[in-house]
Structure 1
Amino acid sequence: MIYDCIIIGGGVAGLQAAIQLGRYKRKVLVIDNNNGRSSICHSYHNILGWPDGVSGTFLREQGYKQALSYGVEFLQKEVISVEKMPATFFVTIASGAIYAAKKILLSTGVMDNIPPYPAIRPCLGLTVYVCPDCDGYEIKDKRTIVLGAGNTGANMALTISYWSNEIIYINDQETDVSQELLEQMKTKNIAYINVAIEEVLAAGANFQGVLLKNGEKVEASRAFIAYGQNEVKSNLAKGLGVELLENKHIVVDPRTKMTNVDGLWAAGDVVAHSEQVTIAMGEGSQAAIWIHKSLLS
């Protein structure tokens, strides 16, 4: 069997594209390892129609059901490679099985560098955040800790100081911070602690602070994570000769979302944009529309 389109990545962008293509009566396969960014966020607060927030898990579950209703197929596996022949793409998964498609959509996303403190995971999206554009508002006038490293953490502290005057930056990895950023933090009255973290303190989803290696406890009700080195999952694209930016995000046509490789599209956080759920939805739909148009020719 040759699918009309194989979508690699079943997060927000991939599911939105699958729904659109399913409504076009296209034969679609979504291959996803269920380990994406949206699967660990317990609440998004800046989405139209969800003023009290909505979890990534809920969005994924609803998107999966909706796509299934249009005949979209799903496979929970890891994709190892994608090979392009003149008119067909061949996708190989970890078991060695190979699937063929006329078109490919990469919606493989980005994975944040979350530090390995067990208490953080239940807090993600509720009291601990990674994106100031998404969740800066959630710390409004609240005492907030930035758990981070070097200049990345310092820049995050400065960014979120827009919403709160009680910002503490803990340089967990004790890496260098530029003198310029140190001065800017001082001007903004951002407390700076250059000590590693021993443990994150939380009661379920409620972040409470951190215990430092020196025994000091720092209390706060909110936190942002900013260690840098987030993983942009564009390796499959690179292997196909797709144009990438220096930060490894995929370059696409702004109108169609197709890459420089004919028949290969990309959408969502793996593409160069502001990494928003709402934008990922739009890009998924946009890519699907143009994939459908290309299949008509």
Structure 2
Amino acid sequence: MNTYDCIIVGGGIAGLQAAIQLGRYQHKVLIIDSNYGRSTLCRSYHNILGYPDGISGAELRTIGQKQASSLGVSFLQSTVLEVEKRNEEFILSTASEQQFLAKRLLLATGIIDNIPPFPELFPCLGISVYVCPDCDGYEVKGKKTVVIGNGEVGANMALTLTYWTKDILYINHGGEKLDVEVEKKLQEQNISYINKRIKEVKTDGAKLKSYVLEGEIEVKAEHSFIAFGKNKVKSDLAKQLGVELLSNQHIVVDSRTKMTNIKNVWAAGDVAAHSEQVTIAMGEGAQAAIWIHKSLLEN
């Protein structure tokens, strides 16, 4: 069984940044990544220092993988199914039927957004269709914006976006009933509201064109936000280890060190409790790596 100073589960932005830091410390590091997460889907991040014209998640990952590899970091594309703590080390079992031993463990498994199964939407993510108002509200400044979602989750997204634009339409694709007070708030903000399911999404490459609703109603849309709630927080491995979780399944970490309540287990990125931003994930990955290094020095 191969032994590593640190195994990082999740090769997104937080995991890669941690791996680069640990690689520069010359530790033996393995990233195990399924290659399917938020950073594989976003076609453009616009709020990152140094990339004023945006950079895709795929490109950022490629740059990070190349940099980490140059520092001796190893990569395995697989999924970790089980993790067991043995004394102060960890045995990880993967879907590829391999086992690895880790002196330290960093969980950077992220979350999976609840995106409706219209394949046409995916090339648009980060370019004309968005999921995060803090990341991309700026992109719809003063523009007509269509929010698609479910019930009050979608309605609240529409209300949040009034900071950026007053021309908003909410399509309640999920059909969950709105509270009277929420409907009143939509009316007060002049947000149009349609309670119909989407049958088809029309696009031109990465450019959104329109939504076709029940009854063959076509709604023109060049900019859109998705808000269905019930995103999947990938904290199953943390549960196996007895790591403390919030009620929303995000991992609780020490604000300074990013270590969990379980010794030698750290968490960084969107799986932890924080503002879900690429830049914050980078910082958390680096911070966790610094304290992982300090803990390894103690031995």
TM bucket (normalised to shorter chain) is: over 0.9
Partner of 2:277: 276
Partner of 1:226: 227
> TM-score under structure 1 normalisation?
0.99
Structure 2 spans left out of the alignment, 5+ residues? none
What does 1:150-229 correspond to in 2, within 5 Å? 150-229=151-230
What does 1:90-169 correspond to in 2, within 5 Å? 90-169=91-170
C-alpha offsets along residues 162-188 of structure 1, whole Å, 9 cap, x if unaligned?
Answer: 111110000002111111111001000
- Contact 1:111 1:232 (8 Å CA) reproduced: yes
The one-letter code of the counterpart of 2:248 is: N
Partner of 2:250: 249
Paired residues in the alignment total 297
Instruction: Tell me the C-alpha RMSD between the 2 structures.
Output: 0.6
Shift of 1:95: 2.7
Distance 1:109 1:180 in 2: 33
- Contact 2:88 2:263 (8 Å CA) reproduced: no
The 3-state SS of whatever aligns with 2:62 is: helix
Distance 1:143 1:210 in 2: 14
Partner of 2:261: 260
Identity of aligned residues (%): 61
C-alpha offsets along residues 260-282 of structure 1, whole Å, 9 cap, x if unaligned?
Answer: 00000000000001100000000
Structure 1 spans left out of the alignment, 5+ residues? none
Distance 2:162 2:124 in 1: 21
Partner of 1:84: 85
Distance 2:12 2:160 in 1: 27
Distance 1:191 1:95 in 2: 49
The 3-state SS of whatever aligns with 2:15 is: helix
The 3-state SS of whatever aligns with 1:199 is: strand
- Contact 1:145 1:209 (8 Å CA) reproduced: no
Shift of 1:214: 1.2
Distance 1:210 1:32 in 2: 34
> TM-score under structure 2 normalisation?
0.98
The one-letter code of the counterpart of 1:265 is: W
